[in-house]
């Protein structure tokens, strides 16, 4: 038995060695005098997957990932600690590159913990969407990173329900029916009459409002302010819950996503490419398809009542990186390399940060997303991406957006008064961010 095992092991080793030997193109050798370890901080496996598939790591360099979940600022905590120890860390332990989201990117770009990537050699931004560069720049316009994706978002609606309620499932006609919030309300009422839900979470369209605010969460004197757009969202959520147009579960809760499955009742969801391609498991996930409870093909995409973007992952260059050449190369490849960007669209259902490649797919009549019944979503997004502005952001956005939803829903569930809910929101913010001045606390 032992002998058999050892033979098996030897065989395995030989096989894996020969597999290594078959590599077609040898990767470029590592730059002289630079580090042997490329250290990346991220909050999930998404980019790691793309990186491992489409980026050829120079020979002799080992890529180390530190992945910490995003929720409740855990990721930022871990990252901050690493960045603050950057100077004293051993060369191989220094952070070279880290990922950041729109909600808190400002915190890092406006600090000395990130460095000018133009100085590193990333200079070609001709094809990127201007807002992605703006978001990665500090107050004086120094660019500190790039985004490998662009996240214009839209309304993802259920074709069968649209057919039943509106008599059409055509994206243009559905768009006309929900062109503004008043019309959206009308459709919601019609859906309710037929026993459907308009959305399956009170916060499903939160990002549409929060992305169209006229003022940041915190003013110049650090006073918290609730924008009229957020106010409108609160009123809408209240009315929708009262009328039975939506549920009181959160965007990521199982009750919400289950409404996207075969027998789900929700008319629409809101989000960018990554949302429906990766976060609507009950609708499109492999498990659901295997179990026959999926709803692949029963969906359509249109702009919705207001243009907005949601999320996006930026790659930022950490100050003190000991792999500047590779750092610049990674960033350049993910925005300018046609092959990488084409793979991202074709194989990974991404909407990339390369206008030329995106437009090529947008104009391709053969190209379409099977989830959306073959509709060319890249074409919808290519149009939407033009309208995105990066504005009114603060370093507190993640905390504000998360906490408001958390504590406001208690009011919608009928557990507290509106005043108590807002008070809880203020208190939670004040505990987390002592610098923010909140009303009466």
Partner 1 sequence: MAKGNEKKHRKSVSYAKWAYIFITPFFISYILFTLIPQFLTVYNSFFENYRNGLEQVGPNFVGLGNYIKLLTPDSSGTIDFLRYLGNSLAMWIAGAVPQFLIALLLAVLFTSSRLNLKGQGIAKTIIYMPNLIMASAFSMLVFSLFSNVGPVNKFLIDAGILKEYYNFFATKISVRTIIACMNFIMWFGNTTIVLMAGIMGIDQSLFESANLDGANSLHVFFDITLPLLMPILSYALITSMIGGIQMFDVPQVISNGKGTPNMTSTTVIMMLNNYLGISKNYGMSGALSVMLFIITGILGMLVYRSLARQYKD
Using CB under 8 A as the criterion, which residues of the chain lie in contact with partner 1 when the complex forms?
72-73, 76-77, 80, 83, 107-108, 110-111, 113, 249, 253-255, 258, 395, 399, 406-407, 410, 413, 415-416, 420, 423-424, 427-428, 431-435, 440-441
- Cβ pair 43, 99 in contact under 8 A: yes
Q: How many angstroms separate the CA atoms of 16 and 3, rounded?
A: 20
Specify the pairing of strand 62-67 against strand 37-42. Answer: parallel
Smallest distance from the beta carbon of 318 to partner 1, in angstroms?
A: 12
- The torsion defined by the Cα of 158, 163, 169 and 172, in degrees rounded to 10, comes to -110
Q: How far is the CB of 224 from partner 1 (least distance, A)?
A: 14
**DSSP output for 274-326:** HHHHHS-HHHH-HHHHHHT---TT-EEEE--SS-EE---EEEEEBTT-S-HHH
Q: Which is nearer to partner 1, 110 or 391 (CB)?
A: 110
Return phi, psi of residue 423, to 5°: -60, -45
CA distance 248 to 279: 19
Task: Answer whether 429's CB lies under 8 Å from 399's CB.
Answer: yes
Residue 435 C-beta: closest distance to partner 1, Å = 4
Nearer to partner 1, 113 or 308 (CB): 113
d(CA 201, CA 14): 54
Q: How far is the CB of 424 from partner 1 (least distance, A)?
A: 6
Nearer to partner 1, 12 or 441 (CB): 441
Joined together, the tokens standing for residue 346 give: 């074709």
CB of 66 to partner 1, least distance (A): 18
| Closer of 222 and 243 to partner 1 (Cβ) | 222
Cβ closer to partner 1: 107 or 207?
A: 107
How many angstroms separate the Cα of 136 from the Cα of each of 46, 68, 109, 145, 163? 20, 21, 6, 5, 42
When the beta carbons of 184 and 426 are compared against partner 1, the nearer one is 426
Q: Which residues contact 262 (CB under 8 A, 6 or more apart)?
A: 288, 292, 293, 294, 295
Q: Are strands 145-147 and 152-158 parallel, antiparallel or unpaired?
A: unpaired
Angstrom distance (rounded) from CA 119 to CA 122:
7
């Amino acid at each position: 038995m032992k002998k058999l095992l050892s033979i098996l092991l030897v065989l395995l080793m030989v096989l894996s060695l020969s597999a290594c030997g078959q590599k077609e193109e040898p990767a470029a050798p590592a730059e002289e005098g630079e580090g042997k370890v490329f250290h990346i901080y991220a909050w999930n496996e998404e980019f790691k997957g793309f990186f491992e598939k489409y980026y050829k790591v120079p020979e002799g360099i080992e890529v180390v990932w530190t992945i910490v979940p995003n929720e409740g600022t855990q990721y930022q905590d871990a990252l901050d600690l690493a960045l603050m120890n950057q100077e004293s860390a051993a060369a191989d332990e220094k952070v070279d590159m880290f990922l950041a989201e729109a909600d808190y990117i400002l915190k890092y770009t406006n600090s000395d913990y990130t460095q000018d990537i133009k100085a590193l050699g990333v200079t070609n931004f001709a094809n990127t969407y201007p807002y992605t560069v703006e978001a990665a720049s500090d107050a004086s316009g120094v660019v500190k990173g790039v985004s490998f994706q662009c996240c214009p978002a839209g309304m993802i609606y259920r074709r069968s329900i649209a057919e039943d309620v509106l008599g059409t499932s055509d994206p243009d006609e559905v768009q006309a029916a929900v062109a503004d919030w008043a019309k959206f309300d009308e459709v919601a009422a019609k859906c309710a009459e037929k026993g459907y839900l308009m959305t399956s979470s009170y916060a499903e369209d939160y990002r549409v409002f929060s992305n169209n605010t006229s003022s940041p969460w915190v003013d110049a004197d650090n006073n918290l302010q609730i924008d009229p757009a957020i106010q409108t969202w609160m009123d809408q959520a209240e009315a929708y819950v009262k009328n039975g147009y939506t549920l009181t579960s959160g965007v990521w809760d199982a009750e919400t996503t289950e409404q996207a499955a075969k027998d789900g009742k929700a008319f629409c969801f809101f989000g960018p490419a990554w949302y429906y391609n990766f976060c609507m498991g009950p609708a499109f996930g492999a498990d659901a398809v295997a179990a026959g409870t999926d709803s692949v093909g029963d969906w359509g995409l249109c702009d919705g009542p207001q243009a907005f973007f949601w999320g996006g992952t930026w790659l930022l260059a950490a100050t003190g990186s000991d792999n500047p050449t590779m750092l610049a190369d990674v960033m350049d490849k993910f925005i300018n390399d046609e092959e990488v960007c084409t793979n991202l669209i074709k194989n990974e259902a991404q909407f990339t940060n390369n206008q030329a490649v995106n437009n090529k797919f947008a104009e391709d009549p053969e190209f379409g997303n099977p989830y959306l019944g073959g509709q060319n979503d890249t074409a919808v997004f290519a149009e939407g991406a033009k309208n995105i502005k990066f504005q009114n952001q603060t370093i507190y956005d993640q905390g504000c957006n998360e906490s408001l939803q958390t504590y406001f829903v208690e009011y919608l569930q009928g557990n507290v008064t509106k005043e108590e809910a807002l008070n809880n929101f203020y208190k939670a913010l004040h505990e987390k961010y002592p610098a923010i001045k909140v009303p009466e606390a």
